Amino acid sequence: MRIRPVLPGELGVLQEIERAAGEVFRDIGMAEIADDEPFPVDVLEAYRRAGRAWAGCDEADRPVGYLVAEPVDGWLHVEQVSVHPDAARRGVGRALLACAGERAREEGLSGLTLTTFTHVPWNAPYYERLGFRVVPVDRLTPGLRAIRAREAELGLDRWPRVCMRRR
């Protein structure tokens, strides 16, 4: 699996990956998540320009997954990681998270954080297998509390969610 920075002309492809990845939520009764629009191109471009947008690419160097992240309270927070269902279970997400972890290390950050659904098999249980641990609510940093508040405003708390981190 080749992981590389996202190229300027690939932002629409990232949106397509996100839409396709979201469809699997429909099958588990989370149609609102499936219907959620991906990040706008200008937001993806801001991550790309900051050097915090990576693509997992197939043998033809076409993105099949992506990850965007930003520093939050001394950690690199994974804002979004998505893999096209056609490329699922091939290590794309794992490779993207490894790349982000390496970037966190290079920048002197403590590790990775993310927020996720607790009961979705490819969410919290998957991240636990990759070494992430739940951060108790009373131990959330100010930045993570702000992220969770924003998610609640968007209605994501309709389903159980947690913050997780990996050093």
Domain chopping of the chain, boundaries: 2-166
Using 50, 70 and 90 to split pLDDT, how confident is the model at 1?
Answer: confident
Q: Can you give the pTM of this predicted structure?
A: 0.95
The helix (H) or strand (E) run that includes residue 45 is helix 41-49
Give the mean model confidence (pLDDT) for residues 136-163: 96
pLDDT higher than threshold 90 for residue 41:
yes
Q: Which of 34, 142, 20, 41 is nearest to 88 (CA)?
A: 20
Whole-angstrom distance, CA of residue 33 vs CA of residue 120: 12
27, two tokens: 């099958």
> Are 67 and 53 in contact, with CB atoms under 8 Å apart?
yes
> For domain 2-166, which architecture applies?
3-Layer(aba) Sandwich (3.40)
